[in-house]
Amino acid sequence: MQTKTPNNFFKNLVSLIKGKVFVINVLPVLTGYFLSSHINHVPLAEHIASFFITLIGSSFVIAGALMLNNWYEADLDKLMERTKSRPSANGEFSRKFVLTLGVTTSIIGFLLLLFTNAEVFLFSFIGWFFYVIFYTFWSKQKYSWNTIIGAVSGCVTPLIGWSVVSSSFQLIPMMVALIVFIWQMPHTYAIAIRRLDDYKRAGFAMLPVVSGIKKTKIHILFYLICLIPLPFFMKSLGWFFIGFITLLNIGWIGLSLSGFSAQNEEHWANRMFKYSVIHMMLFLTSIVVLSI
């Protein structure tokens, strides 16, 4: 029997919150705060205490949602190469422990967010509720448009950070949220194509499983085209930002178009997935840099 060490526990915990997924959901919170301070001409230090509470609280909420996703899908995760090594699937953590940890972590996060403001709490709750209830519990195994529901939970993250300083019901934060929402569609579809056999085996109703790869590629192209005009609504960040993001979008569209003649679907999907991650990291980083 393998001895459970603190290092093993930490490694399993990182796997349980889907490490990279957790990070890419927390980073927009930070980005939203920097951007809000910049646009509203408010010094970063003015709301620093509230921001750290928001960052910690929202991180707990995000982690809790990801844990509950793993708890609910543990049996199906066992059938997938990509997820079978997660502690919720391989038995390293009992399902009861994962459920308890997910609920407790979520509650701690929401309690911390009570010390912020109504909008921060609202957007955090929307993200958690859509991901756990609408996406994980209800739609992921039943409907091919589950990705749209999942994207709602992801797109509110920059609004959480923005709301620390000012109301998010403004053009700029809504454009950032819309870009994050649309970005998730081709990103998730690329994952679904590269892991098509896994999703088929587990019975998840992802678009390429239900409607085929060709139709999924058309959807990917449609969403990427929708990204093109959005940076132009963010003129306050300057034309360099608009031009840079537009070039990234055009490059992504070009890669998407190459998929219609691709001989190796998995290889193409891998390239699309990697490009999507680079795209989002550069998008968020450029906002932070221009906001300092």
76-117 per-position pLDDT tens digit: 999 999 899 999 999 999 999 999 999 999 999 999 999 999
Q: Cα separations (Å) of 112 from 5, 90, 103, 148, 222?
A: 30, 32, 14, 29, 39
Q: What phi and psi, each to the nearest 5 degrees, are found at residue 238?
A: 95, 160
Distance between CA atoms of residues 292 and 237, nearest Å: 11
215-266 per-position pLDDT tens digit: 999 999 999 999 999 999 999 999 999 999 999 999 999 999 999 999 999 9
137-170 per-position pLDDT tens digit: 999 999 999 999 999 999 999 999 999 999 999 9
Global pTM value: 0.95
- What the chain holds in terms of domains, given with CATH numbers, is 9-291 (1.10.600)
